[in-house]
Amino acid sequence: MARWENEDVSDLDLPDPTQVKKTYFDKGGKITTDEKLAFAIAVDVDQKDTYYIKYSRGEIVDPHHIDYNFKNANYTVFKKVCKEAFDMYHKFLQTKNRLYFTRARRYLMERI
């Protein structure tokens, strides 16, 4: 055991650790606890929200149409997006309406 492990640090006035809350959304736009099933993530860090959407092959993953049987998670990543794009993508996951998918892609093209 190292000698600093039992050292009292209460007088250092250290800040509280940041609170991180992740909300995962599955193929149907519903909240899930499994990150492997997630297609969108909303992260709340100390009252600041950031949003992520799953990408594959340089494009947003479309779990209802072209990527319906897409099982290989090795080629997917989550990329940070704006709130408007996230909202449109989340609405697409819920309704399966391609209009919202197209609008999410357009928001991403405009922000680049």
Q: Is 10 within a domain?
A: no
**Domain range holding 43?**
18-111
Q: In this structure, how many other beta carbons lie within 10 angstroms of the beta carbon of residue 85? A: 21
Q: Is 41 within a domain?
A: yes
Q: Is 1 within a domain?
A: no
Mean pLDDT of 36-53: 92
Lowest mean pLDDT among 29-33, 49-53, 60-64, 74-78: 74-78
Residue 45, SS3 per DSSP: strand
Domain tally for the chain? 1
Q: Is 2 within a domain?
A: no
Q: Supply the mean pLDDT for the chain.
A: 87
Q: Is 9 within a domain?
A: no
Q: Is 105 within a domain?
A: yes
Decide if pLDDT at 112 tops 60.
Answer: no
**How distant is the alpha carbon of residue 10 from its chain centre?**
35
pTM, entire model: 0.81
In which band, very low, low, confident or very high, does the pLDDT at 4 lie, cut at 50, 70 and 90? low
